A and B are shown apart, each in its own frame.
Chain A
Amino acid sequence: MAQTSEARTDSPLLEVRDLSISFARPGGETSITRNVSFDVNAGERVGVVGESGCGKTVTGLALLGLLPRRTARVRGRILFQGRDLLTMPAREFRRLRGRDISMIFQEPMSALDPVFTVGEQLTETLRSHEKVSRAEARERAIAALEEVGIPSPHTRIDEYPYQFSGGMRQRVMIAMALICRPKLVIADEPTTALDVTVQAQIIDLLRSLSDSHGTALLFITHDLGVVAETCSRLLTMYAGEVVENAPVDDVLLRPGHPYSSGLLRSLPGLSERGSRLPSIPGRVPAPDQMPAGCRFQQRCPHAAPLCEQHPELEPFQGPREVRCWRKDELTLTGAV
C-alpha cells in the first residue's frame, strides 16, 4: 500500500486540454470528441465511463498517439510531464510510449503476438527502451511475470500466448505494460473479457501494483462497480464530451450530472428484486447528428428550455466539474 516517494511536482502528470478528435470522411470531417479536458496526477487512478460511442477508447488511443495518422485529426494539447505529446517529434514519442506511458487492452489474445513466446514479447519491450543485455532482460521478464502472479515463471516465460488461460494472458499484458515502470498506464476495459472471479483477481493486482510503483492509471470501462473498486476519481463522458469529473465517492452518493445518475440507476443490483428497472431512453446520438446545445438533452429527464444552449464544464461543489445548466437546482439519485 506504500506510495513510492517519487518526486511529486505540483503540476499534474497528465494535462489534457481541449482535446478534439475527428476523422476525415469523404467531403468533410466527423467529430468524435470535443474539448475534452482533464488531469491525471502522479499515482492517481481515474476511471472513464460512458456508453459505447462516447469517445472513451478514442481518447485513450490519442493519449498514446495510436490513432491512424492519415485519417485522424487531433487538436488541443496533451501535456505529459509538461511536454505536449501532440507536437513532440515522432521519434521521441516512440521512446516515451511503452516506457513512460503504456496500455492494457481489453482482449489479451488479440494484443499478444501468437507466434512469439511471452518471454520474447516482454524482452522486446524492455530492450527497445533500455540498454540491457539479453540475460538481464530475461531475468527482468521473469521477475515481471512473478510480480503479476504467474506461477513457475521460469518455465512459463518460454511458452506461447495460446498456452495461457484468459486471466493469465491478461496478467502477461499487465507485466508487459509495467515492465519499464511507466508513470501512466491506460487500461481500456482490461477486465471486461474475464470471468467475475478472475476479474476480481486482476483488479486487486492492478490496484496493488499501482500503489506499490506509484503508477497512475486511466481506467476506461463501462462498469461503475469496477471504477468504485479501483479508482479515486471518475470522468463521465457523453457523446464525445466530459460531462462530469469528480471524486468517485461523491458521484456515487450524489451525482452532479443527470447522465452519471442515469448510468448508476441503470445498474440492476441497485433496484429491488423484480421491480421495474430504470434505463436511459434513446441512444447516444450519431456523431453527425449531435444536437445543438446540451448533447444529453433528448434523453434527459430534467431537460429545460435553457438546455438548448451548450453548457460548459464548470466547477461544482468543491473538487468537481459538471457540464449541466441545472446542476445547482437538481438533486440526483446516486448508488445509495
Chain B
Amino acid sequence: MNALASNPIDNRDDAVSVDDLVIHFHTRAGTVKAVDGVSFDIRPGETFGIIGESGSGKTTLGRALAGLLKATDGHIRYQGREPAALSKAEQRQIRRDYQIIFQDPHAALNPRMTILQSVMEPMEILRDGDARQRQRVAKEALERVGLPAEIGRRYPHELSGGQKQRVNIARTLTLKPRFIVCDEVVAALDVSIRGSVLNLFADLQKELGITYAFITHDISVVSHVSDRVGVLYLGRLMEVGPAAAVTEKPIHPYTQALLSAEPLPLPSDQRDQRRAIRLQGEIPSPLAPPSGCRFRTRCPAAQSRCAEQEPAWREVAPEHWVACHFADSEGGPLDREQSISFGRESATETV
C-alpha cells in the first residue's frame, strides 16, 4: 500500500480556505455571477459537503477548489498558501495534491485507452517514475479500489458505471492527492451500488487521510458522508454548519425547504407528520440575482428588509453560520410561523 500513501495534511492550517471568492463569467447575455462572495474553510481530514441545486454555482466552486478555474476576485489558499505567490514547482505540487473526480464516469475515460493506460496517464504527464514503476502503482491503485487485476486490459465500454467510477478514483489515487473534490460522483450510478462507492471514499479517507469537498444535490448523500455541510444558493452560502445540525435542524428557510422537498420512502402514516414547505418557482438567473437576500424571491418568510439589505453572515450557534436576517440560535423565520410549522411545539410569536 506504500505506493499510494499520501502525506496527509498534518499541520494546523486549513486544507483549503476560501475567502470572499468571486467567479464571474462574461457572456454575450451579460455577466454570469456563478460564485459571488463565498467564504469557508475545509479542515484537514474532514469531508465538507456542498449542497445546491442547478445554478447554485456548486460545480463552478468545485472546479475552482481543484485549481481549474481562476478567481475573478477573492482568494483560495491551500494550507495557508496562495498559488499565485508560489514558484512554478510549488504550484505543480499543489496541482498534484488537489484533485477532482467528475460526475460522469464514462466521459472521464478515453474510450480508446485500456483501463491500465488510463490509470497510468496522470503519472506519465507528471513524469512520475519509470514505466515499470507507473504500472506497479496503477495496478496497486486498481486493487485498492476493489477491481480485479484483469480489468486493466479492458476498455471503458466493457465496464459498468460503478466500475468506471472506481477506475477514476484509482487514477486519482496514483497521484497521492491530499484533497479531492468529488463533484456528484455517485449521481450517475444506480442507487443499488452508490453505497459501495461511498464506502470506498470513506475507507480511503480513513487510510490515507484524504480531505474531501463533496459536491452534490442529493441531501441524503451529503448528510451521510459529510462532517460539515455548506448550502449554496445562487452563488452565495446560505448556511454552513455541522452535518447533523444542518441536515436535521436547519435554520435557514432555504435549507428547510430543501429538506422538506426530499422525497422519503416512508409509509403514508409516517409521511403525514412531515412539514411541507413548498417553494414557488425556480432558482433565478445568475445573470441578475435578486437584490438583498438572494433567496427572498422564493422565501415564504421574506419581508421588505430582505430586498433592501443583504443578510450578514453570522455565527448563530457554535460552528453554525447562517445568512438570514431573522435567524438566531432558536431557529429561522419559518420556525416561528405557525401556518407553516404546523405541529411543532417550539412555535413562538415573534417578528
Expressed in whole angstroms, the minimum distance between the Cβ of A1 and any Cβ of chain B is 14
Question: Counting CB contacts under 8 A, is A84 at the interface?
Answer: no
Whether the pair A229, B263 counts as a contact (CB closer than 8 A) is yes
Chain A hits for B224, CB < 8 A: 268-269, 271, 273-274, 277
Q: A52's closest neighbor in chain B, by CB?
A: B190
Tell me the residues in window 33-91 of chain A with beta carbons closer than 8 Å to chain B beta carbons. 51-52
Give the CA-CA distance A224 to B192 in the complex, in Å: 12
Instruction: Indicate the member of B53, B162, B257, B266 with the most A CB atoms within 10 Å.
Output: B266
Whether the pair B192, A280 counts as a contact (CB closer than 8 A) is yes
Whether the pair B257, A197 counts as a contact (CB closer than 8 A) is yes
Given A271-B224, A273-B244; A335-B193 close (CB under 8 Å): no
Question: Counting CB contacts under 8 A, is A278 at the interface?
Answer: yes
Given A228-B265, A228-B267, A335-B265; A268-B198 close (CB under 8 Å): yes
The answer, among A166, A270, A273, A280, for a CB contact under 8 Å with B193, is: A280
Question: Counting CB contacts under 8 A, is B149 at the interface?
Answer: no
Whether the pair B190, A51 counts as a contact (CB closer than 8 A) is yes
Expressed in whole angstroms, the minimum distance between the Cβ of A295 and any Cβ of chain B is 15
Given A195-B283, A279-B196; A267-B265 close (CB under 8 Å): yes
Whether the pair B258, A196 counts as a contact (CB closer than 8 A) is yes
Instruction: Indicate the member of B191, B193, B217, B264 with the most A CB atoms within 10 Å.
Output: B191
Whether the pair B282, A165 counts as a contact (CB closer than 8 A) is yes
Question: Counting CB contacts under 8 A, is B338 at the interface?
Answer: no
Given A196-B258, A201-B278; A228-B264 close (CB under 8 Å): yes
Question: Counting CB contacts under 8 A, is B172 at the interface?
Answer: no
Chain B hits for A174, CB < 8 A: none
Chain A hits for B287, CB < 8 A: none
The answer, among B221, B257, B265, for a CB contact under 8 Å with A225, is: B265
Whether the pair A277, B198 counts as a contact (CB closer than 8 A) is yes
Question: Counting CB contacts under 8 A, is B68 at the interface?
Answer: no
Whether the pair A196, B265 counts as a contact (CB closer than 8 A) is no
Question: Counting CB contacts under 8 A, is B129 at the interface?
Answer: no
Chain B hits for A29, CB < 8 A: none
Chain B interface size, under 10 / 10 to 19 / 20 to 34 / 35 or more: 35 or more
Whether the pair B268, A225 counts as a contact (CB closer than 8 A) is no
Question: Counting CB contacts under 8 A, is A199 at the interface?
Answer: yes
Question: Counting CB contacts under 8 A, is A303 at the interface?
Answer: no
Chain B hits for A154, CB < 8 A: none
Chain A hits for B217, CB < 8 A: 195-196
Q: B257's closest neighbor in chain A, by CB?
A: A197
Question: Counting CB contacts under 8 A, is A206 at the interface?
Answer: no
Q: Is the interface of B mostly helix, strand, loop or mixed?
A: helix
1/0 per residue, CB under 8 A from A, across B178-198: the answer is: 000000000000111111101
Which of A6-14, A119-127, A140-148, A258-266 has 4 or more CB atoms under 8 Å from chain B?
A258-266
Question: Counting CB contacts under 8 A, is B301 at the interface?
Answer: no
In the complex, how many residue pairs between chain A and chain B have their CB atoms under 8 Å apart? 136
Give the CA-CA distance A91 to B54 in the complex, in Å: 43
Question: Counting CB contacts under 8 A, is B199 at the interface?
Answer: yes
Expressed in whole angstroms, the minimum distance between the Cβ of A89 and any Cβ of chain B is 39
Given A195-B53, A196-B258, A252-B266; A273-B223 close (CB under 8 Å): yes
Chain A hits for B110, CB < 8 A: none
Give the CA-CA distance A197 to B193 in the complex, in Å: 25
Chain B hits for A271, CB < 8 A: 195, 224
Whether the pair B195, A266 counts as a contact (CB closer than 8 A) is yes
Given A196-B217, A199-B263, A270-B265; A167-B195 close (CB under 8 Å): no
Whether the pair B192, A269 counts as a contact (CB closer than 8 A) is no
Question: Counting CB contacts under 8 A, is A204 at the interface?
Answer: yes
Give the CA-CA distance A228 to B264 in the complex, in Å: 7
Question: Counting CB contacts under 8 A, is A276 at the interface?
Answer: yes
Given A165-B282, A198-B282; A51-B261 close (CB under 8 Å): no
Chain A hits for B268, CB < 8 A: 228, 248-249
Which positions in B face A, CB cutoff 8 Å?
53-54, 160, 162, 190-196, 198-199, 202, 217-221, 223-225, 243-244, 257-258, 260-271, 278-279, 282-283
Give 12 pairs: A residue, B residue, CB < 8 Å, sorted on A.
Answer: A200-B263, A200-B279, A222-B190, A224-B265, A228-B265, A264-B265, A268-B220, A269-B220, A280-B192, A281-B196, A283-B162, A336-B270
Given contacts A51-B190, A195-B53, A276-B199, 12 further A-B contacts (CB under 8 A): A168-B282, A195-B217, A198-B53, A222-B191, A228-B266, A248-B267, A268-B224, A269-B220, A279-B195, A281-B196, A283-B193, A335-B266
